[in-house]
Chains A and B, each alone.
Chain A
Amino acid sequence: MKSWQMICSRIWAGTFGAIPWCGQMMKRVLILIFINRAKKKYVAATEYFDMKRFLK
């Protein structure tokens, strides 16, 4: 997480984030931005070493 994102997340936590409904809406917005509209699809699980590809 970049510094400005961390600062925003703390401001969020201290304000609207305390309201449960807001948390759900924020999640939908984040999914819209990072998954549905992203050029490169978000991957929750990071990529790891691929031994078979390495040995080819």
Chain B
Amino acid sequence: MSRTIFAQCGVSQVPRILGFIDQDSASSTYGCADRAYWHYKTIDFSNARFQEAALVLALAYLLPMESNRFYRKDLIKDWAMAAINFWAKSRHADGSTDESYPSERHFCSTAFSLYSVTEALVLLGEKPRQDFGVSGTFLIRNDNSDVANQEACAALALYNLSLVSGEETWKAAADVKIGKLLRMQTKDGSFLEYGGFDLGYDTITLSFLAGLYQKTSRADIKAAAERLIAKIQPFMDEDGYFSNEGMSRRTQFVYPYGFRIFAPAVLQRLEGGLQKDVILNPSWMDDRYCMPLTANYLMTGFTEGRS
């Protein structure tokens, strides 16, 4: 089954995302991907979630596809590392990051940005140049039991931290988060998002379950993912489209990576929807949300070294 369309869609967003990044190595904001902060200066703090660009660039650097002009280009790797370094230095002393306002110390942005930078480091075979453990400790000490996708992300971020640091304590911390996450699954298979079912955010949770499963091979994670897919599947039509009416957070996106790992037949539906250009994809989204979905599309299309 071809996953090329996901990779092509993801690669098509790379020039746009490169434009987000301060590429001037002499600049104090070198690697920052929040243009409102470093370029327009309309805001006086940077949104840490824009540093998820690091993962997009790492995947673009490593994706062996004929139409991928960024494959193995040194500058792409340099900018990925610059985005990681800027993330590291823009954190608070407790390792947390801000997304919407200064001193927010946001669990979500810390989890997602830590996941992205550590996943990028794992893929690139690099080690952190700063102390990432302080951010791991922040995730251990905090939770968001209302929002499953954030707990799933935190679990994978902690697991990645063990891989890049070589310290087993982070694996134990990831296990604790995984336990909490699995207890958040309802009897009908969904993971609650602010008290209700939201298909879009559950596909994010599914993607992180896939990432955890690939790294741990835990049967309970696979079982949870399969129960979630059984819940999700009936809502999606033959093009992978679903109506967001009644969803707790009214999202419209579908993150495909989890289906690549656990449900290839559903991935084929999404592939069809993309080919017909009828489903929401990164090119239709604003700067803030196109990046994580682009990374997810690239991961879906990424084949080298993966099953």
Contact = CB atoms under 8 A, between A and B. Distances in A.
Interface string B250-261: 111100000000
Given A18-B103, A23-B105, A31-B146, A47 B250 contact: yes
Contacts of B91: none
Interface string B23-59: 0000000000000000000001000000000000000
Contacts of A10: 44, 102
Contacts of B286: 46
Given A51-B277, A51-B279, A17 B248 contact: no
A45 B253 CA distance: 9
A39 interface: no
B280 A45 contact: no
Nearest to A46: B286
Contacts of A52: 239, 241, 278-279
Interface in B135-186: 142, 146
Interface in A1-54: 1, 9-10, 12-13, 17-18, 20, 23-24, 27, 31, 35-36, 41-52
A41 to B, nearest CB: 7
B200 interface: yes
Bin chain A's interface residue count: 20 to 34
Contact of A12 (B101, B107, B244, B250): B101
B241 A23 contact: no
Contacts of A1: 100-101
Nearest to B252: A48
B243 to A, nearest CB: 8
B278 A51 contact: yes
Contacts of A45: 200-201, 249, 251-253, 289
Contacts of B106: 27
B85 interface: no
B131 interface: no
A35 B194 contact: yes
Interface of B: 44, 92, 94, 96, 100-107, 142, 146, 194, 200-201, 239, 241, 244, 248-253, 277-280, 284-286, 289
Closest 5 A-B residue pairs measured CB to CB? Answer: A17-B103, A13-B102, A23-B105, A9-B101, A13-B103
